[in-house]
Amino acid sequence: MLIVKNLHVRVGDKPILRGIDLEVHAGEVHAIMGPNGSGKSTLAQVIAGRDTYEVTQGEVYYEGVPLLEMEPEERAREGVFMAFQYPVAIPGLSNTRFLHAALNAIRKHRGLPELDAIDFLALIREKAAFLQMDAGLLERPVNEGFSGGEKKRNEIFQMAVLQPRLAILDETDSGLDIDALKIVANGVNSLRRPGRAFIVVTHYQRLLSYIVPDRVHVLYEGSIVRSGGKELALELEASGYGGLQRGAARDAAPALP
């Protein structure tokens, strides 16, 4: 579903990613872990289409199509979704209106009829209830005055409505208390499908107790220095990121064909 080949990215003169290789198949959950500043969020944002980063080398294929040539909205319509680490507040635009515009843009692209207001409201009420999200938040301006936890839950709510094929969760666990974390994790787990993949970017192992990954990658100074199964997250929890060094890769991501 997603193939990242030798991806180099910089901001200004500063290299952030230095040759990332990653392959994610449909149905899989990949965790990307690493210390602050290792490039985790950059990788997520580059896949989603943020243009403040400059790709200097490498390629990204999504469903066999070169992803980096697509506008962010095209990626979204093709099924890429990123849950933002810092969701943006938009005073004056209701959550409902925003999401309705988004869903219909995606449905139209997929050749599906647009949902009218009644069907749309029924859909979002159901999704909100499932995520135990206060229905009052639906009519509030997007993320305006939301608590940290409400913002993160709102991201997962949007994901549940938009039904992406590739979902990237960028530090969705940060700022969540344990109850909110469980609700978010349940929401994610309920969306796991054979045809859908997740990339879970996180600093901590904690989230991975609830969203159990198939693969764990450790990002350090812009490179994946280790990859392994879910037990790697536990190992890191015990040993910390201190022991990591560039080039000290064991069990690195398999070379791509």
Partner 1 sequence: MGTQQAGDAFLRNLDGLRGHTVASRPSWLGELRGAALGRFTRLGFPTTRQEEWRFTDLSRMLSIRFEPACGGASDGLASEAWALVHALPGPRVVLVDGHFRADLSVTAAGRGIVVDSLCRVLRDSPGLLAPHLAHYAPWREHPFVALNTGLATEGVFVQLAAGAVQEEPVHLVHLWTAAGKARVAHPRALILAEPNSRAAIVESYWGSHGSVSLTNAVTEIVVGRGAVLEHAKLQEEGDEAFHMATVQVHQQSRSSFTSHVVFLGGSLARNEINIRLEGRRCRCTLNGLYWARGRQHMDLRTRIDHAQPACASEELYKGILDERARGVFNGKIYVHRAAQQTDAKQTNRALVLSDQARVNTKPQLEIFADDVRCTHGATVGQIEPEAMFYLRSRGIAERRARQLLIWAFANDVVGRIGLAPLRTAVEQLLTAGDGLSVGPVAGRLP
Kindly list the residues in this chain that would bind partner 1 in the complex (CB under 8 A).
Answer: 48-52, 71-73, 75-77, 81-82, 84, 87-88, 90-93, 96-106, 109, 114, 116-117, 120, 141, 158, 162
Residue 24, token pair as written in the block: 């994610």
Cβ nearer to partner 1, comparing 162 with 232: 162
- CB 105 to partner 1: min, Å: 4
- What's the rounded Cα separation, in Å, for the pair 85 and 251? 29
Secondary structure, 3-state, 38-57 = CCHHHHHHHHHCCCCCEEEE
- CB 94 to partner 1: min, Å: 9
DSSP string for 187-232: HHHHT--TT-EEEEEESSSGGGGTS--SEEEEEETTEEEEEE-THH
- CB 92 to partner 1: min, Å: 3
- CB 14 to partner 1: min, Å: 19
Cβ nearer to partner 1, comparing 12 with 254: 12
Cβ nearer to partner 1, comparing 104 with 186: 104
Region of 34 (left: φ > 0; alpha: ψ -120 to 50; beta: rest) is left
Cβ nearer to partner 1, comparing 181 with 200: 200
